[in-house]
Amino acid sequence: MGEREIGERVKSGIIGVIKGTGEVTTATITTIAEVVRTTVKETSDTGATIGEAATGAVKGAIGAAGDVSGVAIDTTEHTMSKTAQAASKVGASVGNAAKAAMLGTVRGTSEVGSGSITAVSSAARTAVLEASHVGADVTTAAVGAVEGAIEGAKKTSVSAEEAAAAAATGAIGAAGEIGDAAALRVRRAVEGTIKGVRVVAKSTTAEIRA
């Protein structure tokens, strides 16, 4: 099963959950994370690489959030205040989707037993790029990915600091592909202390100008 098929599997598995509220709420993070965890583990067991499983799962989760929240925007009365509220809703939804996808990715890859840190970095990179694709705030997605990595590392052999650093590095690298300004915003958002963990990204190929 390839990356695209994995993404579609995750998307179909969670779209009903999201449609109930029109967004990814904090209450649905655990449910989505479990779908991602199961998908990552099962597809890895059947031949997909860890990277394909993680990347596909994140694409599916954020794609579902973008689709459902996008419908909410399209059907909202287009006053300026309503549009701003809808955009904020999409950003929060994608951020929560990124967190849930990363949470499930860390747990799923840890059960497979190899490649967890590489998968975390790839998943965070995908989260930022997919957020940009659906028109959501990339910093919200980046922070969600780092928070998910930290939480997902609990009860696994992966350290929270290592997982957070990998997620931050992937997010900043992806933002650098979008542009210098995006890279700088994301770096400022993900470096520091998040959820009680000191996050320090490793060097990336992104050129970030202060």
DSSP per-residue string spanning 46-74 = TT--HHHHHHHHHHHHHHHHHHHHHHHHH
The predicted pLDDT at position 143 comes to 96
| pLDDT at residue number 111 | 81
Specify the pLDDT at position 175: 95
201 alpha carbon, distance to own chain's centre: 17
- Helix, strand and coil in the chain, % to nearest 5: 75, 5, 20
- Model pTM score: 0.81
Assign 82 a pLDDT band (cuts: 50, 70, 90). very low
**Do the Cβ atoms of 166 and 121 come closer than 8 Å?**
yes
The predicted pLDDT at position 75 comes to: 37
pLDDT of residue 156: 84
Q: Count CA atoms within 13 Å of residue 89 on its CB side.
A: 19
**What's residue 46's pLDDT?**
64
pLDDT tens across 159-187, in order? 999 999 999 999 999 999 999 999 999 99
Q: Which residues contact 22 (CB under 8 A, 6 or more apart)?
A: 68, 69, 71, 72, 89
- How long, in residues, is the chain? 210
Q: Is the pLDDT of residue 144 over 90?
A: yes
Q: Is the confidence at residue 139, as pLDDT, over 70? A: yes
Whether 196 has a pLDDT exceeding 90, the answer reads yes
**What stretch of H or E contains 199?**
strand 197-199
Considering only residues 71 and 100, tell me which one the structure prediction assigns the higher pLDDT.
Answer: 100
Q: Are the C-beta atoms of residues 45 and 97 closer than 8 Å to each other?
A: no
Collect all residues with Cβ–Cβ distance below 8 Å to 108 and sequence separation of at least 6.
36, 37, 38, 39, 40, 41, 44, 53, 54, 57
